[in-house]
A and B are shown apart, each in its own frame.
Chain A
Amino acid sequence: MLSCTLRLPDSVTRFSMGEWDLLVRQARSAGLLARVRHVLARHQLTEAIPAVARWHFDAAATLAAKQQLAVRWEVDKIRTALKGLAFPFILLKGSAYVVANLPAASGRLFNDIDILVPRAQLGAVEAALMLAGWHPALLSDYDQRYYRRWMHEIPPLQHAVRATVIDVHHAILPDTARYHPDSATLRSRAVAVADMPGVQVLATEDRILHSATHVFHDGELPHGLRDLTDLDLLLRDAAADPDFWPRLTARANELQLGRSLFYALRYLRYFLDTPIPDSAIAALERDKPNRLTLALMDRIFTRVLAPDHASCADRFTPAARLATFVRAHWLRMPVHLLIPHLLHKAFVSPYQRNEKPA
Chain B
Amino acid sequence: MKLLQLSPSDLRHQLAGNGVWLRTGPFSLRIRSRLPRVAEGLTELYGQFEVRNAHQAFADFHVELNPPSRLRRWFRPQVNFSFDGAQPFKPLPLDQAYPMLEWGLNWCVSMHAHHYLIIHAAVVEKNGLAAILPAPPGSGKSTLTAGLVLSGWRLLSDELTLIDRRTGLLHALPRPVSLKNQSIDVIRQFSPEAFINRVSHDTAKGSVAHMRPPRDSVLRQHEPARPGWVIFPKWEAGAETRLTPRSRAETFMFLAQNAFNYSHLGADGFRVGTTLIDHAHCYDFRYSTLSEAVAAFDRLAERRAV
Q: Which A residues lie at the B interface, using CB under 8 A?
A: 16-18, 20-21, 24-25, 28-29, 50, 52-53, 55-56, 58-60, 62-63, 65-66, 69, 309-310
Closest B-chain residue to A65, C-beta based? B266
Q: Contacts A52-B28, A62-B114 known; A17 to B56 CB distance under 8 Å?
A: yes
Tell me if A28 and B84 are in contact (CB < 8 A): yes
A52 touches B58 (CB 8 A): yes
Residue of B with least CB distance to A60: B114
Given known A63-B264, A66-B263, contact A25–B115 (CB-CB < 8 A): no
Chain B, 97-116, CB within 8 A of any chain A CB: 112-115
**B86, A63: Cβ atoms under 8 Å?**
no
* Contact size range, B: 10 to 19
Kindly state the separation between the CA atoms of A303 and B113 in the bound complex, as whole angstroms: 31
A23 — nearest CB in chain B belongs to which residue? B58
Contact (Cβ within 8 A) B58 A59: no
- Asked if A62 contacts B85 (CB within 8 A), the reply is no
Q: Are B85 and A21 in contact (CB under 8 A)?
A: no
- Taken residue by residue from 36 to 70, chain B's Cβ proximity to chain A (1 for < 8 Å, 0 otherwise) reads as 00000000000000000001111110100000000
Q: Are B58 and A69 closer than 8 Å at their CB atoms?
A: no
**Known contacts being A29-B86, A309-B84, is A55 close to B57, with CB within 8 Å?**
no
- Residue in contact with A17 in the complex, picked from B57, B263, B264, B265, CB distance below 8 Å: B57
Instruction: Report the bound CA distance from A59 to B108 in whole Å.
Output: 13
Q: Which residues of B contact A16 (CB under 8 A)?
A: 56
Complex Cα distance A28/B112, Å?
10
A24, B59: Cα distance in complex, Å: 10
A53 and B85 contact, Cβ closer than 8 Å, known pairs A62-B114, A62-B264, A66-B266? no
Residue of A nearest to B112 (CB): A59
Give CA–CA (A194, B28) in the complex, Å: 46
Contact B58 A29 (CB under 8 A): no
B56 touches A29 (CB 8 A): no
Greatest chain A CB density within 10 A among B55, B58, B112 is at B58
Considering the complex, give the chain A residue whose CB is closest to the CB of B86. Answer: A29
Q: Give Cα A50–Cα B58 distance, bound, in whole angstroms.
A: 10
Give the Cβ gap from B81 to chain A, nearest Cβ, in Å: 16
B62 neighbours in A (Cβ, 8 Å): 25
List 10 interface pairs A-B (beta carbons < 8 Å), by A numbering.
A17-B56, A20-B58, A25-B62, A25-B84, A28-B84, A52-B58, A62-B114, A63-B114, A66-B264, A66-B265
CB–CB B113/A55 < 8 A? yes
- 8 Å CB contact of B85 from A17, A29, A55: A29
By beta carbon, the residue of chain A nearest B56 is A18
Candidates B60, B84, B86, B265; contact of A62 at CB < 8 Å:
B265
- From known contacts A18-B56, A66-B266, A69-B266, infer whether A55 and B84 are also in contact, taking CB-CB under 8 Å: no
Contacts of B265 in A (CB 8 A): 62, 66
Min C-beta distance of B118 to chain A, whole Å: 11
Are A21's CB and B58's CB within 8 A?
yes
Chain B residues with Cβ under 8 A from A65's Cβ? Answer: 266
Chain B nearest CB from A99 CB (Å) reads 19
8 Å CB contact of B60 from A29, A56, A58, A69: A56
CB distance from B52 to the nearest CB of A (A): 11
Contacts of A53 on B, CB cut-off 8 Å? 58
Q: Which 6 A-B pairs have the closest CB atoms?
A: A59-B114, A18-B56, A62-B114, A55-B115, A17-B58, A21-B58
Contact status B85-A309, CB under 8 Å: yes
User: Using Cβ atoms and an 8 Å threshold, which residues of chain A touch B60?
Assistant: 52, 56
Residues of B within 8 A of A28 (CB): 84
Would you give the shortest CB distance from B140 to chain A, in whole angstroms?
A: 32
* Contact in complex: B84, A18 (CB < 8 Å): no
Instruction: Report Cα–Cα, A69/B265, bound state, in Å.
Output: 11
Bound-complex Cα distance A25 to B265 (A):
23
Interface residues of B in 244-275 (CB under 8 A from A): 263-266
C-alpha spacing A352/B60, complex, angstroms: 41
Chain A residues with CB below 8 A from B115, complex form: 55, 58-59, 62
| Residue in B closest to A20 when the chains form the complex, CB atoms | B58
Q: Are A29 and B84 in contact (CB under 8 A)?
A: yes
Query: How many Å from the CB of B38 to the closest CB on chain A?
Result: 20
Measured CB to CB, the closest approach of chain A to B257, in angstroms, equals 15
Task: Determine whether the beta carbon of B56 is less than 8 Å from that of A56.
Answer: no
How far, in angstroms, from A56 to B28 measured CA to CA in the complex? Answer: 12
Note all chain B residues with C-beta closer than 8 A to A18: 55-58
